[in-house]
Amino acid sequence: MDGQDSRALMSDAAAMQSQSAADHRLNSRGENRSRLVVRRTPTPGIWNPVKIITIASLALGVWIAANTKSILYGQSIDPLDYETRKNRLLSETPLIDGHNDLPFLVRLQLNNQIYGDNLQFDTGLASHTDLKRMKMGRVGGQFWSVFVECPRIVHLDDPNHSVRDTLEQIDVAKRLIANYKDLQYCDNARCALQSFKRKRISSMLGAEGLHQIGSSIAVIRQLYELGVRYITVTHNCDNAFATAASTVTETGKDSGLSDFGHAAIREMNRLGMMVDLSHTSHRTMRDVLAITRTPVIFSHSGCYSIGKSMRNVPDDVLRMLSDNGGVIMIFFAKKFVRPEDPENANLNDVVNHIFHAASLAGWDHVGIGSDFDGTGSVANGLEDVSSYPRLIEAVMRRGATDEQIKKLVGENILRVWRENEKVAAEIQNGVDSQPVESFWEGRAQPSFEGSLPSLKGFQ
Ligand SMILES: [Zn+2]
């Protein structure tokens, strides 16, 4: 049976149920009427006031019985009335996108100068994202990426500006958020929900690659202090912690997660820093899923079975994700959505990825992570941040229920975030609660020429 048949059946069944409930109420009111008539001595004639009041009450009762449910719960909405379903759903659940790279465009094109007429974020930009279109797209929350590129270095420990540049991206993202009253900076899941109730777009920070921390676990802690709530384990380069998907594409070699990477995951779990597995190699995904104590995210990924790119997630990992409790947030980047024919990648391809992930991992484990402003071209039909309602309607037409779509648009990522907060609190209150002090053996150790007191050998 395909989606449309099942929707038609649902519609018929709902209609029959509603009719039968109304009939039942009518009968019950009818019996009441006979009892009233028997007890009283009626005055003949149609203008008998008792009769008029009784009939009016009956009519009112029948109307209330027929409409109360739809007034209170809106359950009488026709399943094929996509517009009403979309409106209701997006007014009840925040749509939270997992990945948007606008701050990186601001860095590249505006040197992070956002004031005055430099960045017309509220009125309109030529890129994928601005405030006006976010409102049209009914965006309820956004993880803004504080991405900087992999450093151009030969050895991993060569000096580079990644940490400085990441701090600048955190700075500009926070200034951007603070500059618009429609945006609300959030560093916890409760804030994201409260902002939605106050009709503001919750704005969170995510870093896109452990190359951004200079091979130092201490920097993960400091990024957390600064409000970053997820870090992608790799971007398009290997780092001291793990192998990237791009490396496997180029060399075929996949070393997965390093021992130092294990230590980083342990610290991220302890902090409640969500572990993002987008961009990582498949072996890295499996290695992390085997050890993490918290649900992971894929902030912007697709399914390998639908689009044969190493950047996408294989089926066995989708099943592992279900056991882990995490979420894969599906992206719109043409080259990954339909790698064999990117030019024609469209909205329906994105829906294919969503349904494939849902069929293997379950509807509790899918989300949306567009990658707007982080990729040159996005799927036809999903051109910018105003497009989300179109995607939701396509998912509805494919047969998903409103409950499933609520999970997809926001409930799942909020659950995963809350779970990370909860597990982190448990770890921090447990016996093995101290911060991880592991350091990367590949780094040059500090030295000092001259004489200083010794910490060891106290007498
Ligand atoms: Zn990316």
Predicted pLDDT at 17: 38
**What distances in angstroms separate CA 258 from CA 150, 442, 444, one per listed residue?**
18, 12, 18
Of 238, 371, 384, 411, the active-site residue reads 371
Using the mean position of ligand 1's atoms as its centre, give its distance from the Cα of residue 434 in Å. Answer: 32
Predicted pLDDT at 278: 98
Predicted pLDDT at 53: 63
Predicted pLDDT at 170: 98
Q: Would you say residue 11 has pLDDT above 60? A: no
Task: Please write the tens of the pLDDT for every residue from 138-167.
Answer: 999 999 999 999 999 999 999 999 999 999
| Residue 254 bears catalytic tag | no
For the chain, list the domains and their CATH numbers. 20-74 (no CATH), 84-429 (3.20.20.140)
In 3D space, the residue among 406, 374, 416, 50 whose CA is nearest the CA of residue 208 turns out to be: 374
Tell me the two tokens of residue 398. 């494919």
Task: State the virtual CA torsion across 238, 145, 389, 409 in degrees, nearest 10.
Answer: 70
| Residue 24 bears catalytic tag | no
What is the average pLDDT across 1-17? 35
pLDDT tier, 459 (very low <50, low <70, confident <90, very high otherwise): low
Using the mean position of ligand 1's atoms as its centre, give its distance from the Cα of residue 224 in Å. Answer: 20
Using the mean position of ligand 1's atoms as its centre, give its distance from the Cα of residue 149 in Å. Answer: 10
Give CA–CA dist 300/98, Å, rounded. 7
Using the mean position of ligand 1's atoms as its centre, give its distance from the Cα of residue 371 in Å. Answer: 7
Instruction: Give phi and psi for 184, each to the nearest 5.
Output: -130, 115
Task: Please write the tens of the pLDDT for every residue from 219-256.
Answer: 999 999 999 999 999 999 999 999 999 999 999 999 99
pLDDT tier, 54 (very low <50, low <70, confident <90, very high otherwise): low
Q: Which residues contact 159 (CB under 8 A, 6 or more apart)?
A: 153
Task: Please write the tens of the pLDDT for every residue from 260-281.
Answer: 999 999 999 999 999 999 999 9
**What distances in angstroms separate CA 35 from CA 15, 28, 41, 42, 54, one per listed residue?**
31, 11, 12, 12, 11
Task: State the virtual CA torsion across 300, 303, 304, 306 in degrees, nearest 10.
Answer: -130
